[in-house]
């Protein structure tokens, strides 16, 4: 059954993600870019927990659970088995959150990329460890209040700058590296198709607004993805053969002030003007860096 562009065959209704979850909307867009000849290795995290409450599963594709840290190694094993069987048709996809990607799984992700295996790795970037109660990850942006970086009289929330995972992927020589965001489903689907058409490892990072983690409304995930792009804080990017080949920071780009993005999220609501100006400066740095 295919209704309203939602690929029910690949990810069925009945999962227990939050209503309006940014990650789940991104997953639907990813599924549209896959063929049925795909095997998914999923790191634990919100996506796994909400779609596979035993004894049920929402997945209509071959899908395997893995530990938090080793989805990439599981995918490597699957890829090796396919190779051994002479199967060049079946695609292998890893799905993980930013905690599983930027932090705990990073060594194994690096090994998978180093081996040059034909695997697409997708990171749904909620900018925190959503599943276990919104702890800060290496992806948490400056100024965000999380349960391990709570804002308060002595704290602005996270005082670290988001880790540049895109640069880490590029440093491994990947031929296709892209960034997208919830709110841009066609962009996500197109990038998945391009990644799968590129031999070797590829990486797509998708900003996936988390309703409770960001303190936004059930209907605001897509809007947050759009604002992140419009402010320059999270541009849509594509690197082909290591070169920036497409960017939302193009000739038509007119940056919106970051306040429009920050003020609607309770994780940033404590920030004063000086801190907001600092984040504006981070957006300006991005705009310079990713201009095309």
Ligand X SMILES: Cc1ncc(C[n+]2csc(CCOP(=O)(O)OP(=O)(O)O)c2C)c(N)n1
Binding site for ligand X (CB under 6 A): 23, 44-47, 68-69, 96-100, 124, 126, 129-132, 137
Q: How far is the CB of 196 from ligand X (least distance, A)?
A: 22
Nearest-approach distance from CB 90 to ligand X, in angstroms: 25
Q: How far is it, in rounded angstroms, from Cα 104 to Cα 68?
A: 7
CB 179 within 8 A of CB 26: no
Q: Which is nearer to ligand X, 157 or 213 (CB)?
A: 213
CB of 127 to ligand X, least distance (A): 8
Could you give the CA distance from residue 101 to residue 221 in angstroms, rounded to a whole number?
A: 21
Q: Which is nearer to ligand X, 7 or 127 (CB)?
A: 127
Rounded to the nearest whole angstrom, what is the least distance from the CB of residue 67 to ligand X in the complex?
A: 6
3-state SS, residue 246: strand
CB of 46 to ligand X, least distance (A): 4
Q: How far is CA 156 from the centre of its chain?
A: 25
Q: Is 242 left (phi over 0), alpha (psi -120 to 50) or beta?
A: left
Distance in Å, CB of 87 to ligand X, minimum: 29
Q: DSSP characters for 121-157?
A: EEEEE-SSBTTTT-B--TTPPTT---SSS-EETTEES
**Which residue's CB is nearer to ligand X, number 66 or number 190?**
66
* Residue number with the smallest Cβ distance to ligand X: 97
Q: Which is nearer to ligand X, 45 or 232 (CB)?
A: 45
Q: How far is the CB of 43 from ligand X (least distance, A)?
A: 6
CA distance 282 to 144: 14
Give the sign of the dihedral formed by CA 244, CA 249, CA 279, CA 218. negative
Nearer to ligand X, 228 or 287 (CB): 228
Q: What is the DSSP string of 163-185?
A: P-HHHHHHHTT-SEEEEEETT-H
User: Among residues 130 and 286, whose Cβ is nearest to ligand X?
Assistant: 130
Nearer residue to ligand X within complex by CB, 124 or 176: 124
Per-residue tokens: 117: 């295996």
Element (H, E) at 159: none
Other Cβ atoms within 10 Å of 5 Cβ, number? 11
């Amino acid at each position: 059954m295919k209704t309203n562009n939602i690929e029910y065959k690949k990810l069925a209704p009945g999962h227990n993600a939050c209503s309006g979850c940014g990650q789940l909307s991104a997953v639907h867009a990813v599924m549209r870019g896959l063929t049925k000849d795909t095997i998914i290795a999923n790191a634990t995290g919100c996506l796994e927990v909400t779609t596979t409450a035993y004894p049920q599963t929402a997945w209509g594709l071959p899908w395997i659970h893995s530990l938090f840290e080793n989805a990439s190694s599981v995918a490597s094993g699957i890829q090796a088995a396919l190779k051994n069987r002479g199967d060049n048709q079946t695609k292998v996809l890893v799905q993980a959150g930013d905690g599983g990607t930027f932090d705990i799984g990073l060594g194994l992700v690096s090994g998978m990329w180093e081996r040059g295996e034909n695997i697409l790795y997708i990171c749904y970037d909620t900018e925190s460890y959503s599943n276990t109660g919104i702890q800060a990850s290496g992806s948490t942006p400056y100024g965000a209040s999380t349960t391990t970086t709570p804002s308060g009289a002595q704290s602005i929330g996270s005082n670290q700058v988001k880790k540049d995972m895109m640069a880490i992927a590029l440093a491994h020589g990947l031929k296709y590296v892209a960034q997208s965001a919830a709110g841009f489903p066609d962009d996500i689907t197109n990038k998945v198709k391009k990644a799968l058409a590129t031999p070797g490892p590829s990486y797509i990072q998708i900003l996936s607004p988390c309703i409770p983690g960001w303190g936004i409304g059930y209907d605001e995930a897509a809007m947050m993805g759009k604002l992140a792009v419009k402010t320059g804080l999270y541009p849509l990017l594509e690197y082909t053969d290591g070169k920036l080949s497409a960017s939302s920071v193009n000739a038509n780009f007119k940056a919106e002030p970051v306040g429009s993005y920050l003020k609607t999220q309770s994780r940033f609501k404590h920030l004063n003007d000086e801190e907001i100006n600092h984040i504006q400066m981070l957006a300006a740095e991005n705009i310079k860096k990713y201009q095309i």
